[in-house]
Structure 1
Amino acid sequence: MTGPRITIIGSALSGNKGASAMLEAAIQTLSARLDHPQFTLLSMYPAEDAAQNHYDNLDIVPAAPRQLGVTINSLALAYRVLPFLRGILRSRSRAVRALVDADILLDQGGITFTDGREKFLLYNIASILPALNVGTPVFKCAQAIGPFRNSVNRRASRLFLPKVRTVVTRGRITHEFAEGLGLRNIVAGADYAFSLELDGSEADAVSEHVDLGFFEGDTVGVCPSVVLQKKVDARGGDYVGQMVSFIEELRARGKRVLLLPHSVRTGTDKTHNNDLPLCRDIHSRLRLGDDLLFVDRELSSQQLRYLIGRCDLFVASRFHAMVSSLAMAVPTLVIGWSHKYREVLEMFGAEEWAFGHDELAVDFLTQRFEALDARRAEVAAMLEVRLPEVKSRSRMQADLIVDVIGR
């Protein structure tokens, strides 16, 4: 017996565990609301995602960027303009069949149609255009869009975003950008990953690889990002050196440090969606000791969230590592590169604990950490108070998706 068919793009099980958290949150929340839903992921990393797929109702279909941009988009356009070929196209292309049979396409790209990321604009368009061409409604799950000052991005956004059934904005700044563009199909929400629930098995699973006794002292989690590294180093900085100096300063102050990559691709040194090579470089420059724990492997999004929740304080550069720390009410200091960080922290009244990569210096980072450490109890209490409302705004989009399917 099968129920509604839901196709998803822009997320993954492997690599970026923020993408995994969004995907698995959608599966969790929609499976609780629908009878026997069937999910298909159009995957950028099909082999890696298939290896990690433990869901009986999730099918993995290859959709690497070139395949998506050329093959799948061409076949979907042919499906639209050549009705006599529809049966053949549907039978011979798993991707076309997944889109045609779907009741809805969920676009889970974390940040799309944004100035300064024009090199990703074609992918942003290619992710939703096939569904539009075959007549499947598109639902953009909570994400950052805008600003739209760049003429190319602005024209593309004005052309394609109004064709989407619903755009869920991930915070105040994104919502204001969307309103400024004149969009009327927007709903204010919160990142879907806030809906991710732990199932209680995480401690046992993690303990096979990590000594959980490490967390008996005052523990600070540090989550670097290769995206931030590229931005810092491009302006002549030394991101790795700064992270090493900061971690050693924490240890000199009596803190225990958990070095945690939140985006990992097993079996490759490629750095796209993979912070493990960066973290290995940082770790190789640190002195060994019982006050340092490096997670040198790929863990699931739930296992990572559990580990982050064991920390007393957290320093994040990966966006969804920040989401997990906030979801576990851990006081968090954020080094970011986009408005997407600040607008989420605003929901918790914690925007003062974020600063941009252009301000990154060891002394400044240490000063901001000291300030957070001094107010940790106050900040933790504030996160606990705000968290239920943020989770409610996150889960709301599952109800919106069910409504679209029902129609």
Structure 2
Amino acid sequence: MKILIVGGNFNNKGAELMLNTLVSKLNELFIEANVYLSSLVGTKTQRETLNVLELKGPLLHVGDGDKKFYFNWFLNYLPWYKGEGSLWDMDVIIDISGYAYSSKWGNSPVTNVDFILKHKSKKTKFIFLPQAFGPFDNDFIINKMRSVIERSDLIFARDKISYENLKNINNKNNIELFPDITLSYKSKTSSFEESKEVLIVPNKRMLDKSDNWSSNYISLLNIIIDRLNIANEKVSILIHDGEQGEDKELVNSLKGDFNVLLEEDPIKLKQKLSKAKFVIGSRFHALASSLSNSVPCIALGWSHKYEELFELYDLTDFAFLELDKLSILNKIDILLDRNLNSDLRKKITQQQENISDQNKLMWEIIENYIKK
């Protein structure tokens, strides 16, 4: 069996964690399978470290422009890009884009994945692993997404809003609701007493994806740092998109006493988050990594995906999609309290057991579908 992963990358540490989680699970479920990535995803060393094979022929990420993507796709029809290990030789394509199919990212991703589904080999099964979908706010992208749903084998939305966004377009029975796959990728959990620092995880997208935050995000982070400094807490700014990302640019605008942490390995990154006293973050997978290891969090977000993640843990009042300074500072005071923090850890752990059960069921559905 040959399985191609699309939608993943090594640029964003959340996306890389999804890659690690998926490859690990595929190796567990399909021992004899060969797992492939496009030669345009990461470096040769990164692909070899992940222990995946290189697709014979180029394949761009769905987020690239339409015309560029189409030209790249048709290169795969050239004779030297066919045969063993080529696009046309794949038994399964699994998409882990995370959050690409939405009007917030323009029409190109939906247009390009629709193109893949129309032109892939008829034998190839196409599965979307849990991710966020929508909103879709124009007729063009709605019609394209309707086609995507119709041609896909399985689509897993990772939250109720995404699920409804898809169902409102096409009520086909191939759409399921299950949590993000990284929530079951465990690290060792620390207690409140063992935790030494509060981690703040910024996201530059907060400046260009949300009118609610663009003018006050940096000032709020500075207020938060000041509050934690007054409480004599050790504060670290954790850069979650790596050395080549944009988030580290925000550090120059921050004031106060803090360290800066930069870690390229997504597994070690999750381990760092698991040892935090609590996390204040705007990166979805930083928050997911923390919550899945029973670390309390406050989300400062720009999309419904943050609220929906926190709803899984019954913590929606700790997720903020717009500025509410007094409420945010109140939540910080709660998390600074040893007893309240410990109680929240117990609550999160209980919710995680249910999430892990859901995740296990999803993989059973996928395994049975692929093997049938």
TM-score, normalised by the number of residues in structure 1: 0.79
**1:126 aligned residue (88, 112, 115):** 112
Helix, strand or coil: the match of 2:200?
strand
Per-residue displacement from partner, 1:228-273 (whole Å, max 9, x unpaired)?
1334679761433332332122111121112101111x3x4xx5xx
Kindly indicate whether residue 256 of structure 2 is the aligned counterpart of residue 286 of structure 1: yes
CA distance in 1, matches of 2:23, 2:213: 41
- 1:342-375, Cα deviation, whole Å (9 max, x unpaired): 112111111111011x3264x4432332244443
Q: Distance in 2 between matches of 1:392 and 1:100?
A: 35
Q: Which amino acid aligns with 1:328?
A: N
Query: Which residue identity does 2:330 align to in structure 1?
Result: Q
**Alignment partner for residue 8 of structure 2, among 11, 32, 35?**
11
Partner of 1:211: none
2:63 counterpart of 1:74? no
- In structure 1, what is the equivalent of residue 175 of structure 2? 186
- Displacement of 1:141 in angstroms is 0.4
Report Cα offsets for 1:265-290 as digits up to 9, x if no partner.
Answer: x3x4xx5xx422323x246x434xxx
**Aligned mates of 1:235, 1:217 — CA distance in 2:** 30
2:204 to 210, 223, 226: 226
Contact 1:113–1:153 (Cα < 8 Å) also in 2: no
Percent identity reads 21
Structure 2 residue aligned with 1:173: 161
- The change in CA–CA distance for 1:116 and 1:131 in structure 2 (over 3 A counts) is closer
User: Per the alignment, in what secondary structure is the counterpart of residue 263 of structure 1?
Assistant: coil
Report the alpha carbon displacement of residue 301 of structure 1 after superposing the two structures with TM: 1.3
Unaligned runs of 5+ in 2: none
Mapped to 2, the partners of 1:43 and 1:323 lie a distance apart of 29
Give the 3 Å change call, closer, same or farther, for CA 372–128 of structure 1 in structure 2: farther
Query: For structure 1, which segment, 248-257 or 130-139, has the greater mean C-alpha deviation from structure 2 after superposition?
Result: 130-139
Instruction: Give aligned pairs, total.
Output: 360
1:9–1:380 Cα change, 3 Å? same
Q: Which amino acid aligns with 1:156?
A: K
Instruction: Tell me the TM-score normalized by structure 2.
Output: 0.86
Q: How does 1:130-149 map to 2 (within 5 A)?
A: 130-133=116-119, 134-135=121-122, 136-149=124-137
Correspondence 1:329 to 2:329: no
Between Structure 1 and Structure 2, which shows a larger proportion of helix residues?
Answer: 1
- How far, CA to CA, are the matches of 1:140 and 1:52 in structure 2? 21
Q: Residue 224 of structure 2 is aligned with which of 234, 246, 250?
A: 246
Question: Displacement, 1:103?
Answer: 1.3
State the one-letter code of the partner of 2:318. Answer: W
Partner of 2:50 in structure 1?
55
**SS state of the match for residue 22, structure 1?**
helix
Specify whether residues 232 and 246 from structure 1 end up closer, same or farther in structure 2 by C-alpha distance, changes over 3 A only: farther
Partner of 1:164: 152
Per the TM alignment, residue 152 of structure 1 is displaced from its structure 2 partner at its CA by: 2.5
Is the CA contact (8 Å cut-off) linking 1:194 and 1:324 kept in structure 2? yes
Alpha-carbon separation, structure 2, partners of 1:286 and 1:130:
49
Q: Secondary structure at the match of 2:263?
A: coil
Q: Report the aligned-residue RMSD.
A: 2.9
Following the alignment from structure 1 to structure 2, what is the Cα–Cα distance between the partners of residues 23 and 255?
34
Amino acid of the structure 1 residue aligned with 2:143: R
| Deviation by residue 1:89-148 (Cα, 9 ceiling, x = unmatched) | 4x3369x9532111110111112432333x2x3123324533541222210000111233
Return closer, same or farther for 1:396/1:27 CA change in 2, 3 Å cut-off: farther
Q: Which residue, out of 19, 22, 31, partners 1:23?
A: 19
Q: How does 1:387-398 map to 2 (within 5 A)?
A: 387-398=352-363
Distance 1:57 1:15, change over 3 A: closer
- Give 1:208's aligned residue: none
2:240 match = 262
Distance (Å, rounded) in 2 between the aligned partners of 1:15 and 1:329: 26
Q: Partner residue of 2:215?
A: 237
Q: 2:269 aligns with which of 275, 300, 304?
A: 304
Do structure 1's residue 359 and structure 2's residue 323 form an aligned pair? yes
Tell me the residue number matched to 1:85. Answer: none
Choose from 325, 331, 336 the match for 1:368.
331
SS at match of 1:145: coil
* Partner secondary structure for residue 255 of structure 1: coil
SS in structure 2 opposite 1:260?
A: strand
Secondary structure in structure 2 of the residue aligned to 1:337: coil
Return the alpha-carbon distance in structure 2 between the equivalents of residues 238 and 44 of structure 1.
Answer: 37
Amino acid corresponding to residue 15 of structure 2 in structure 1: A
User: What is the aligned counterpart of 1:103 among 82, 91, 94?
Assistant: 91
Q: How far off its partner does 1:33 sit?
A: 1.3
Letter in 1 for 2:28: A
Deviation at 1:316, TM superposition (A): 1.2
The one of the two structures with greater contact order (alpha-carbon pairs below 8 A, sep at least 6) is 1
Further displaced range: 35-44 or 218-227: 35-44
- Checking the alignment, whether the CA contact within 8 Å between 2:161 and 2:304 is kept in structure 1 is yes
How far apart, CA to CA, are the structure 2 residues paired with 1:176 and 1:299? 35
Contact 1:30 1:398 in 2 (8 A): no
Gaps of 5+ in 1: 80-87, 204-214
